[in-house]
Amino acid sequence: MLDLIIVGAGTAGLSAAIYATRAGLSTLVIERAMYGGQITVSPEVDNYPGIPHTSGAELAQGMYQQAEDLGAQFAFETVESVEEEGGLYTVRTDAGTHTAPALILATGAQNRPLGLAEEQRFTGRGVSYCATCDGMFFKGRPVAVVGGGNTALEDAEVLAGICSTVYLVHRRDQFRGEHAQVERLRTHANVEFVLDSVVTALEGEDKLQAAVVENRKTGEVRRLEVDGLFVAVGQIPQNQPFAHLAETDAQGYLKAGEDCRTSRPGLFAAGDGRTKTVRQLVTAAADGAVAALGAAEYLRSR
């Protein structure tokens, strides 16, 4: 019988698996796609303590291998529903059913769309949510990045080395992302900051040809002739199958404090899917450790 099920094999889930197995818990990690989560598409990770330079994929591979070597089991299945009865969590997937008395939800978040009328039609035809994945399709061409967080800044940096022009469109004149990264971007002659501006329309026939942007302060409207538009405006938590199990906030994040405990005994939330202020690799890894040790303590005290 399993002691613990972890849903999600991103940084938080893999860190939880490492700590849970080291605490002697029989642990199953369920992941619907590739292990590693969001970090796998980051080409450079320079802010993980003790590892000055690595790639997201390399880091993810290391975490997965470490968890597997320690004895964590993995099931690459899609979770369809989760129920709790009599202190036992039943996780139904597209391949079967798994049960355990403790559950860690570490399913992270997915990309938020801009919500423009033509956005879906142009997705894969100019609109992308992953510069690392799709940047090379726009080699030598003009593109725009939308957003002011670390993802947008990183995307602009990657694209500056590939594309002829990169317009960085942000709705304010202050960036949420790291100051050092903003300064680095300013050194690229082919990056133009388009601040206080929002994209209001996308234009093109079969493929994207232009993004219409409006300056929110002056009302000025500009038509940026771009082949690509990279949307990096944050994430939406992926908690839908679990939302009924515990309290969530208005955005759908599972309410849990620094101890990662949700409103339901035995149910923990770790990583980007829980309420928190800093969503970073290190905080996801920290959550995994806290949730796993919390689960071990919960199981001991039952």
Residues that bind ligand NAP (CB under 6 A): 42, 45, 47, 114, 146-152, 154, 171-172, 176, 198, 232-235, 279-281
- Comparison of 88 and 182: residue with beta carbon closer to ligand NAP: 182
- First and final CA of the chain: distance in angstroms? 16
Structure tokens at 188: 């690229």
**Minimum distance from residue 178 beta carbon to ligand NAP (Å):** 8
**Minimum distance from residue 44 beta carbon to ligand NAP (Å):** 8
**Minimum distance from residue 105 beta carbon to ligand NAP (Å):** 18
- Comparison of 35 and 175: residue with beta carbon closer to ligand NAP: 175
**Minimum distance from residue 110 beta carbon to ligand NAP (Å):** 11
Say which residue the tokens 């199953």 belong to: 28
Give the number of C-alpha atoms closer than 13 A to the C-alpha of residue 73, restricted to the C-beta side: 12
- Comparison of 4 and 285: residue with beta carbon closer to ligand NAP: 285
User: Which three-class secondary structure state does DSSP give residue 68?
Assistant: helix
Name the closest residue to ligand NAP (Cβ). 149
Q: In angstroms, rounded to a whole number, what is the distance separating the alpha carbons of residues 55 and 40?
A: 8
Q: Nearest CA to 209 among 270, 155, 260, 142?
A: 142
Residues tagged active-site:
130, 133-134
**Minimum distance from residue 56 beta carbon to ligand NAP (Å):** 8
Say which residue the tokens 């005290």 belong to: 301
In Å, what is the CA distance from 107 to each residue of 14, 117, 144, 258? 11, 28, 29, 17
Q: E-assigned strands of the chain?
A: 4-7, 27-30, 73-75, 79-85, 88-93, 97-100, 102-105, 109-111, 127-128, 142-146, 165-169, 191-194, 197-204, 208-215, 221-224, 228-231, 235-237, 267-269
Q: Nearest CA to 16 among 26, 6, 28, 2?
A: 6
- Comparison of 148 and 266: residue with beta carbon closer to ligand NAP: 148
Q: In angstroms, rounded to a whole number, what is the distance separating the alpha carbons of residues 231 and 126?
A: 11
Give the number of other CB atoms < 10 A from CB of residue 205. 7
- Comparison of 13 and 147: residue with beta carbon closer to ligand NAP: 147
**Minimum distance from residue 118 beta carbon to ligand NAP (Å):** 15
User: Which three-class secondary structure state does DSSP give residue 170?
Assistant: coil
- Comparison of 88 and 236: residue with beta carbon closer to ligand NAP: 236
**Hey, which residues does 7 pair with through a beta bridge?**
30, 105
